[in-house]
A = this chain, B = another copy of it.
Amino acid sequence: MKPHVLQRRGIQLTAETINPKVLDAQYAIRGALVLRAMQHERNLKESVRMPFDEIIYCNIGNPQQLNQKPITFFRQVLALMDYPDLVEMPKAKKLFPEDAIERARMFFSNIPGGTGAYSESQGIRLVREHVAEYISKRDNLVASADDIFLTDGVSQGVNMSMNVLIRNEKDGILIPIPQYPLYTATISLNGGRAVGYFLKEEKGWSMDLGELDRAYQEAKNQGTNIRAMVVINPGNPTGQCLTEANIREVVKFCEHNNLVILADEVYQTPIYGETPFTSFRKVVTDMGSSVELISYHSVSKGMIGECGRRGGYMELRNIDTVVREQIYKLVSIGLCSNIAGQMMVDLMVKPPQEGEPSFALYQEEMNNLQESLTRRAHKLSTALNAMDNISCNAIEGALYAFPKIDIPYKAVQAAKDSGMTPDTFYCVELLDATGICVVPGSGFRQKKGSFHFRTTFLPSEEKMDIVIEKLQKFNKTFDTIYR
């Protein structure tokens, strides 16, 4: 029987009829420039002649994509969890150390169904207890498993927080400028207002109380109900590490203005400079403050770079019980975060301990990573500052440099003619000339008239030397042509 073909009456979903909040959301890290890089890569594969042999992706904090080796113990435990029969096979002892097998056994006896079953909505209790122990030890303060929610990466936790906070288009969230674009994107999606406060570039991207006050008052005068403030420490894309004194001022400001603090602390390790990482939680608690605080951490960052796992947690502090129950309901609608990601959170916060068989290898791997990242951070910022038209604050933490480029007037004009912002123009030229993919500063927002780009230093040390060399050469040529 031939089917009867009906006329199409119209389309329900078009650019005009889609939810406008979705249209409004911006996300540059995987935007047009990356698609252009991927096109170049396809050209290279098809032997099209290009001025470079490969694309070097410095646009995203995705260490293992660039061959950072995972921590051996973590992956041994995950493998055992994924294939439960292994744990009891005598031959497995020849491939897996005793403590990895022991850890897997402990998980199995605590987690019905292992990695294949939904866990309780908030996350596996045992994992949350280990997170609480980690926080307690880090901050020398008591933390509780009841305050921990395990999430599919931090993106989910942030989106959930915005969902709870934003009621309508008058609700505003203070965010740093420059920012990680997850914040403007999730605020747009939830229909609120992103209210930017500028980080003080000339003072190492610190937070300035006068500027916080200006941003707050201006938005308030425009009828915005400011509900919360996002802080990213160590900074993304800016790489600074806030001092305890600075954090203390910020907490007082939020307390005074009755703002919830959303503390993105996914880069709490590694640290490259003199300023140690201090958690907002520690400062809030030490001050005896009752300010509402949600802190986030992730296995994607914090050195181990397990991005593909989508594991993370958030901790609630001074959050009303009813609100907590509502957050519980939100996570239960999505059932639970993925279990292998939860396991990875557990391994991150409870790695092998001294005296255990895997401790030496674990420590060696972590130390090598920390030392190598430190070398790369210093080398990169030094090289950037040696360029006449570029300046870059010290990289104290995180995985990025956010240098300022002095773009010549003629280049600004050329960008205008091509319908691009000047920083995008610079980054496109860089990509086309060298194959290096970075993100224009406008993707993170920046002070008007200033131009930046964000680059990671995640390629291997040998490759970072090449990146630096190519960048120097390109930058000199660019400046010569347009100056």
Contacts and interface: CB of A to CB of B under 8 A. Distances in A.
Interface of A: 3-6, 8-15, 17-23, 25, 27, 29-30, 60, 62-67, 70, 72, 75-76, 78-80, 82-86, 89, 91-92, 94-95, 112-119, 121, 152-153, 155-156, 159, 163-167, 182, 185-186, 189-190, 227-228, 248, 252, 255-256, 258-260, 286-290, 292, 300, 305-310, 319-320, 322-323, 326, 329-330, 332-341
30 contacts: A6-B252, A6-B256, A8-B255, A11-B258, A11-B320, A12-B292, A13-B164, A13-B292, A14-B320, A15-B326, A17-B167, A18-B326, A19-B163, A21-B163, A22-B164, A30-B121, A60-B118, A63-B117, A65-B112, A65-B118, A75-B83, A79-B82, A86-B95, A114-B308, A117-B308, A118-B300, A159-B334, A189-B333, A308-B339, A340-B340
A340 B309 contact: yes
A307 B335 contact: yes
Given A9-B258, A114-B64, A308 B163 contact: no
Contacts of A337: 310
B115 A309 contact: yes
A91 B86 CA distance: 13
A23 B323 CA distance: 9
Contacts of A228: 12
Contact of A22 (B112, B189, B288, B330): B330
A229 to B, nearest CB: 11
A299 to B, nearest CB: 10
Contacts of A323: 13-15, 18
Contacts of A75: 82-85
Most chain B CB within 10 A, of A79, A159, A286, A292, is at A79
B13 A260 contact: yes
A6 B70 CA distance: 45
A285 to B, nearest CB: 9
Please give the count of copies of this chain that the complex contains: 2
B14 A333 contact: no
A255 B189 CA distance: 29
A17 B329 CA distance: 17
A78 B70 contact: no
A35 to B, nearest CB: 10
B27 A332 contact: yes
Given A12-B260, A20-B167, A115-B308, A83 B78 contact: yes
A40 B248 CA distance: 45
Contacts of A27: 329, 332-333
Given A11-B320, A14-B323, A152-B152, 6 more contacts: A5-B287, A63-B117, A86-B95, A155-B335, A185-B333, A308-B338
